Amino acid sequence: MEKKESNPYGRMFKMTSRDRVIKTYNFQIPDRIPLDFCADDPVYNALIERVGLKNQLELMKFFHIDFRWARPKWVGPELKSPDGRRTDYFR
């Protein structure tokens, strides 16, 4: 059973994020295109502060982001390339 989600613009969405993503994976048409957002912590924190929210989950709800990502903190040694530059998961 699908429930409706409201948003700050007053428009009602007919589907939950989960239903929307599952429909898309099954090549069916959802009520809107599922949204994804990925950023490093400094970007998340700046947006949270700018919009006046408490945490990343509130930010995802505010912007109606449908996907959630598990991002465990790296606990190993700092990753460096052979020439000494720091690396991250994009390189």
Whether residue 20 is found in the same domain as residue 43: no
Whether residue 65 is found in the same domain as residue 40: yes
Domain housing 45:
35-70
Number of domains in the chain: 2
CA 16, CA 66: separation in Å to the nearest integer? 8
- Does 76 map to a domain? no
Whether residue 27 is found in the same domain as residue 43: no
The model's pLDDT over 14-66, given as tens digits with 9 standing for 90+, comes to 899 999 999 999 999 999 999 999 888 899 899 999 999 999 899 999 999 99
Q: Give the residue, 61 or 5, on which the prediction is more confident.
A: 61
Whether residue 19 is found in the same domain as residue 44: no
Place 3 in a pLDDT band, splitting at 50, 70 and 90.
Answer: low
- Does 52 map to a domain? yes
DSSP state letters, 7-34: -TTSPEESS-HHHHHHHHHTT---SS--
The model's pLDDT over 46-57, given as tens digits with 9 standing for 90+, comes to 999 999 999 989
- Does 85 map to a domain? no
Bin 63: left if φ > 0, else alpha if -120 < ψ < 50, else beta: alpha
